Amino acid sequence: MLVEIRDKALGGKRLGRDEGRWLLSEAPLLEVGALANEVRFARIPDKVVTFVIDSNPNYTNVCVTDCQFCAFYRKPGDPEAYTLTVEEVLAKVESAAARGATTVLLQGGHNPVLPLDYYTTLVRETRRRFPQVTPHFFTASEIQTIAQVSRLTVGGVLDRLWEAGQRTLPGGGAEVLSERVRTRIAPKKGGPSAWLEVHREAHRRGFKSTATMMYGHVEQPDDLLDHLDAIRELQDEWGGFTAFVPWSFKPGNTLLERWIKQVKGPNTYLRMLAVARVYLDNFPHIQASWFSEGKPTGQIALHFGADDWGGTLFEENVHKAAAYVNTITVEEITALIREVGFTPAQRTTTYEILKTW
């Protein structure tokens, strides 16, 4: 099986579902890693690993969607619920910009009281006041919420955000793009088509976005294949995805916690990244997440097909709510990348290289 898969992958032929399933569940881990590494260097020959200086603030934790895996949200009226004003959010953007950030990934709960104008003002003012910062704002499910609240179509909301100056969307909220899994862990978020539709409409308009995956809860290998198939097909349509970013579920303080027998660790993560690199033949970049998997695993992942280190994440609150904390500096990032044999390069939100170390 391995020989045929290698021939196909390096010969530019697309892998099928059975091959994907074998790689996900049976292939020896280091064989998958070595193949992913070959594919990575065939596609990106330079021994360069990119990273972005960014921050992930949140504008509200108010949410009506009650996802089982989320420790961050609060229902409307909860004493711990908060919603920041436009100026408060812009102060966070300003502090990120002051530390050299070129990307601010802003996301929040699904707060039904915020009007469209709130979101477009955030984009417009970020562009106006901090032109060096790319507003990488609002995941697919937030766009849907905005559409419902403002009685526009998803496309209509995206048009307004585009007019305000937004050009990229973060890929969060995909979880696992399988009917079965989303019904179980995020029943009010809609099936996979909900997330896919927002990204399709975005790509059609010229937005770039990332695709994420949060695994390690109730999914089976076929659910993961559903996910990979779905984003690979969508990528064939418009080519709007810049990168695939998987991470493992952090069960702390969530409703799903008591159902989790074994948290998925580094071996599962390395396999997921490597399979993604081989299977997602139309994705330019695969991101290693030092943040969610730990720095050593992030470093090892650079030898398992990943070519991007993610960001500095100056501010992060969602994992923190699940009792998971990790921090880093630019100096540390460059040292960590270099010591495992790669040249660090700072990139933009859309993976253009700004500076090579």
Residues 161-200 that bind another protein (CB under 8 A): none
The correct pick among 276, 300, 306, 322 for binding another protein (CB under 8 A) is 300
Q: Is 132 in the site for another protein (CB under 8 A)?
A: no
Q: Which helix (H) or strand (E) holds 267?
A: helix 266-279
Identify the residue among 64, 239, 296, 327 touching another protein (CB under 8 A). Answer: 296
Shortest reach from residue 272's CB to another protein, in Å: 12
Distance CA 216, CA 234 (A): 24
Which of 240/305 has CB closer to another protein? 305
Does 268 help bind another protein (rule: CB under 8 A)?
Answer: yes
Cβ closest to another protein, residue 160 vs residue 303: 303
311 DSSP β-pair partners:
52
Which CB, 80 or 339, lies closer to another protein?
339
Give min distance, CB of 274 to another protein, in A: 10
Asked if 262 touches another protein (CB under 8 A), the answer is yes
User: Quick check: 267 binds another protein (CB under 8 A)?
Assistant: yes
Provide the CB-side half-sphere exposure for 285 (13 A, CA). Answer: 26
State which of positions 308-337 bind another protein (CB under 8 A). Answer: 335-336
How far is residue 71's CA from residue 319's CA, in Å, rounded to a whole number? 8
**Between 323 and 335, whose beta carbon lies closer to another protein?**
335
Question: Using CB under 8 A, which of the segments 12-20, 24-32, 117-125, 154-162 binds another protein?
Answer: 24-32
Q: Which residues of 178-189 are buried (b: 16+ CB within 10 A; e: fewer)?
A: beebbebbbeeb
Q: How many residues does the chain have?
A: 357
CA dist 47 and 343 (Å) reads 6
User: How far from chain centre, in Å, is Cα 337?
Assistant: 20
Asked if 239 is part of the footprint of another protein (rule: CB under 8 A), the reply reads no
Max CA pair span of the chain = 58
Report how far apart, in Å, the C-alpha atoms of 257 and of each of 68, 75, 249 are: 9, 19, 10
Nearest approach, Cβ of 356 to another protein (angstroms)? Answer: 20
Q: Should residue 297 be labelled a site residue for another protein when binding is judged by CB under 8 A?
A: yes
Between CA 113 and CA 82 the distance in angstroms is: 12
State the nearest-atom distance from the C-beta of 159 to another protein, in Å: 44
Which lies closer to another protein via its Cβ, residue 36 or residue 321? 36
Q: Would you give the DSSP letter of residue 13?
A: P
Q: According to the binding rule CB under 8 A, does residue 43 interact with another protein?
A: no
Burial, 2: exposed, middle or buried (Cβ in 10 Å; 0-12, 13-18, 19+)? middle
Binding residues (CB under 8 A) for another protein: these are: 6, 28-31, 33-34, 37-38, 41, 262-268, 270, 293-294, 296-297, 299-300, 303-304, 335-336, 339-341
